[in-house]
Amino acid sequence: MSKLLLVALSLALLAFTAGDNPVSWYKEFQDFDSGSFDDISATRDAERVYRLPENVVPLEYDIYLDLYFDENTEKSFSYDGRVKIIIQAKEDNVKQIVLHSNIDEIKTVTVSDDTGAEVKLGEDKPHEIEELYHFLKVNLVEPLRVNVNYTLNIEYWSTMNEGPMKRGIWRGWYTDDDGKERIYATTHFQPYNARQAFPCWDEPLFKAVFKLHISKPADYVGTFSNTVVDFDQPVVNNRIRTDFAATPIMSSYLVTFLVSETFVVLAQDTTFNPPI
């Protein structure tokens, strides 16, 4: 009985909506529907302007960051960076690699193929920046081969932001038990601010493996990231480079690290490295 009542109400509603001219009602419905799809199509076209093309994808990142904290040098609260990205073309005739970058200065860009041979870049514009969308465009003379590993190397320089609201790599201060002010650097990449720390495909769709290598002053003993420390090695000028193990396949905004002068871990479970 309830089903019959529901059908009757539905028919009554349809008749009320259509009125005396069902043909006119149907035409209005068609016009509305067509217009809606036109709006959706226009929205998608506008979206493509600021979205990265999917013709090239990253597979693995090696990110090298040299962090500088000394307030008495020209490099204070800045970092030199180098990112090595293994990429593949997924379409034919790709002669431009497009990724995100929102850092202060790009120094060099090179591309090499799976044999290590250098890929020629455009003579007039080897690379260019589209600041509005934070695009770094690498122009090639010859197209990439589909499903072949290439290595994109980018050297750059940038500054640490002041506080988390500006995101990217930012610096902060705290006071230790002796009343001394201590400095640290950490990250806030969500939702699309990894591009402030290293050039990358900074959309959640593009997932890859990340390996982080951080060089910092030797007295910055608190160094943490997504994964365990793989190796600590001394470098020149009283600095240490910490290499972290590879992450699972993930989006760029999930990469994180913390570098601090002193850091005490209050651990509930010491079976992990670092403990949690």
Tell me: pLDDT of 242 over 70.
yes
Q: Tell how many helices (H) and how many strands (E) occur in the chain.
A: 2, 15
Mean of pLDDT values over 217-236: 91
Q: How much is the pTM?
A: 0.79
Count the alpha carbons within 13 Å of 234 in the hemisphere toward its beta carbon: 5
Go through the chain and tell me how many residues it has.
276
pLDDT (tens digit per residue) in 44-57? 555 678 999 999 99
pLDDT for 6-31, tens place per residue?
434 343 444 444 444 544 544 444 55
Q: Tell me the per-residue pLDDT of 121-139, one tens digit each, with 9 for 90 and over.
A: 999 999 999 999 999 999 9
Q: What pLDDT is stored for residue 2 in this prediction?
A: 46
What's the rounded Cα separation, in Å, for the pair 112 and 221?
Answer: 36
Strands across the sheet containing 150-159: 105-112, 150-159, 78-89, 56-68, 209-217, 239-244, 229-235
Handedness of CA 12, 16, 20, 25 (dihedral sign): negative
206 contacts 57 by C-beta, under 8 angstroms: yes
- Whole-number mean pLDDT of the chain? 85
Q: What is the mean pLDDT of residues 165-178?
A: 89
Q: How far is residue 121's CA from residue 270's CA, in Å, rounded to a whole number?
A: 50
Sort 8 into a burial class: Cβ within 10 Å, 0-12 / 13-18 / 19+. Answer: exposed
| Residue 17 or 268, more confident | 268
Residues 6+ apart with CB under 8 A from 200: 58, 61, 83, 85, 99, 100, 101, 194, 252
H-only helix segments in 51-170: none
Indicate if the pLDDT at residue 146 is higher than 60: yes
* Residue 209 or residue 218, greater confidence: 209
